[in-house]
Amino acid sequence: MKYVVCSGCSLLCSDIIVRTGGLFIDEVYGACERGKERFDSVTAKNRITHPQIRKNGKLEKATWEEALNKTIEMIRTSKKPLLYGFSTVTCEAQLKGMELAQKINGFIDSNSSICLGKTLKIARDTGLTFTTLSEAINKADLLVFWGFNPAESIPRLLNKVVFSRGRFRMTGREIKTVVIIDPIKIASFGIFQIRDISLQIKPNADAELINTIKAALETGGELPLEGAAGIDNAELKRFYLNLTEAENGIIFIGQGLLNPLAKINLIEELLKLVNMLNKNQKRGRISIIPVGGHYNMLGFNHVALSFSGKSHSIKFQDNKATDEEPTLISTIQKGDFDFSLIVGTDPISHLPHSLSSKMAAKPLVVIDNKFSATTHLADIVLPSAISGVESAGLAFRLDNVPIELKKIVNPPSNVRSDVEILTDILTRLTTPGGR
């Protein structure tokens, strides 16, 4: 039996116990269903166990030598390589991805740029108000979950931050007020007690709610009598009082605040509101924790920032990061790429058909541990170990705390870690004839 970290989601729970004889993971204790699935994926039916190359329209088993040589051939032919994914691999693999993108003058991005990875950049401009899970567990008296369903997306988050007893006081759940802001009655509402606040807002009314609180701060607490954003005056008042009087309030931000239909940047406006609240706060402070799903989405932002000075969407030219700020979407839309290397993600499923079809039409290499829509359309598939289970490395938890992942069992015999695969590609490119 040993304690390990679960890499099933960005909470990176470090209190999981596994029993293993070295070959398989026999038992898992303490993980949620999603985490259990991560450990079970070692023997999943859709596991990729051999390199594959497309021949006559069909993927066929190949040797590593054949698959890597063909990959190098494609990279050498490419003038505009696109590297994408990297949010379910370790920081060490992300760094190798950066080095590769720099070497081949590619554009590199991760899922974080179309998710909450942008928050880091916005927070640099509006003022940093991040906090950690330890603060949430030990000191928080107000927990706001805005724009996501924690009970299903980060299954143990509520257990940890709402139902825990703080180190510095004898009380726990009884002094924590929970606020959930969502247009639908999500499963997380099931944890409500008498003091909690359910804000079932109108769809696409987050901006109206943010602006209403901002206006109230400027007028000494005046809130519209008719309510706002589908919330009545009494509930608005309770929310406002909790925000302005909490000793340690934390707003967990979800993907609902990335709403493309919103006319303003909701994350930016919310961060401005947090700064206004903190200027008005007499007793304590309000902080934020953006909640992304993939276990090391934040790692990519940190690695990218230290490598290039930008936290995502980096375009290299003459082996240097340029000032250009293309996005993954604009790059694909304009057809500004002629080859893709996808690492640990499934863009063919996630992107709209107008974009995924463009990606599928150009040479495509995938590094992943399981079959997906993207591997089914790829020209080359390189099988990778499941990081945090079959390979070790560093990852950043959703509160920006670095966590060390351990290797628990060996990967299947013909499978390599993401770091080994990317290092091998880099090494082959530096041999004579490389670019």
Binding site for ligand SF4 (CB under 6 A): 6, 8-9, 11-13, 31-32, 34-35, 154-156
Compute and round to an integer the Cα radius of gyration of the chain: 23
Question: Cβ 321 to ligand SF4, closest distance in Å?
Answer: 32
Three-class secondary structure of residue 79 per DSSP: coil
Q: Which of 80, 77, 73, 70 is nearest to 101 (CA)?
A: 80
Q: Which of 297, 357, 330 is nearest to 107 (CA)?
A: 330
DSSP state of 256: G
The residue type found at 299 is G
Question: Cβ 418 to ligand SF4, closest distance in Å?
Answer: 19
Q: Which helix (H) or strand (E) holds 220?
A: none
The dihedrals phi and psi of 345, each to the nearest 5 degrees, come to -150, 175
- State the Cα–Cα distance between residues 182 and 193, nearest whole angstrom: 17
- State the Cα–Cα distance between residues 220 and 241, nearest whole angstrom: 11
Residue for token pair 């463009």: 358
The residue type found at 384 is S
Of the two residues 6 and 120, which places its CB atom closer to ligand SF4 in the complex?
6
Q: Which of 394, 344, 424, 404 is nearest to 14 (CA)?
A: 404
Those residues whose C-beta lies under 8 Å from the C-beta of residue 352, and which sit 6 or more positions away, are: none
Of the two residues 213 and 389, which places its CB atom closer to ligand SF4 in the complex?
389
- State the Cα–Cα distance between residues 241 and 238, nearest whole angstrom: 5
Percent helix, strand, coil in the chain (nearest 5)?
Answer: 40, 20, 40
Of the two residues 13 and 366, which places its CB atom closer to ligand SF4 in the complex?
13
Of the two residues 295 and 307, which places its CB atom closer to ligand SF4 in the complex?
295
Of the two residues 12 and 415, which places its CB atom closer to ligand SF4 in the complex?
12
Of the two residues 39 and 86, which places its CB atom closer to ligand SF4 in the complex?
39
Of the two residues 14 and 204, which places its CB atom closer to ligand SF4 in the complex?
14
Question: Cβ 129 to ligand SF4, closest distance in Å?
Answer: 24
Q: Which of 354, 346, 426, 411 is nearest to 378 (CA)?
A: 346
Question: Cβ 408 to ligand SF4, closest distance in Å?
Answer: 14
Question: Cβ 290 to ligand SF4, closest distance in Å?
Answer: 16
Of the two residues 12 and 209, which places its CB atom closer to ligand SF4 in the complex?
12
Question: Cβ 49 to ligand SF4, closest distance in Å?
Answer: 24
Of the two residues 34 and 358, which places its CB atom closer to ligand SF4 in the complex?
34
CB-CB contact of 406 with 392 (8 Å): yes
Those residues whose C-beta lies under 8 Å from the C-beta of residue 7, and which sit 6 or more positions away, are: 38, 88, 295, 296, 386, 387, 388, 389, 395, 405
Question: Cβ 157 to ligand SF4, closest distance in Å?
Answer: 7
Question: Cβ 268 to ligand SF4, closest distance in Å?
Answer: 28
Question: Cβ 30 to ligand SF4, closest distance in Å?
Answer: 7
Of the two residues 96 and 397, which places its CB atom closer to ligand SF4 in the complex?
397
CB-CB contact of 243 with 251 (8 Å): no
Of the two residues 89 and 365, which places its CB atom closer to ligand SF4 in the complex?
89
Residues 328, 334, 340: CA angle, nearest 5 degrees: 50
Give how far Cα 133 sits from Cα of 5, 88, 130, 263, Å: 16, 21, 10, 31
Question: Cβ 160 to ligand SF4, closest distance in Å?
Answer: 8
Query: Can you say how many angstroms the Cα of residue 200 is from the centroid of all Cα atoms in its chain?
Result: 25
Question: Cβ 152 to ligand SF4, closest distance in Å?
Answer: 11
Three-class secondary structure of residue 249 per DSSP: strand
Of the two residues 9 and 386, which places its CB atom closer to ligand SF4 in the complex?
9
Strand order in the sheet with 2-4: 2-4, 16-20, 25-29
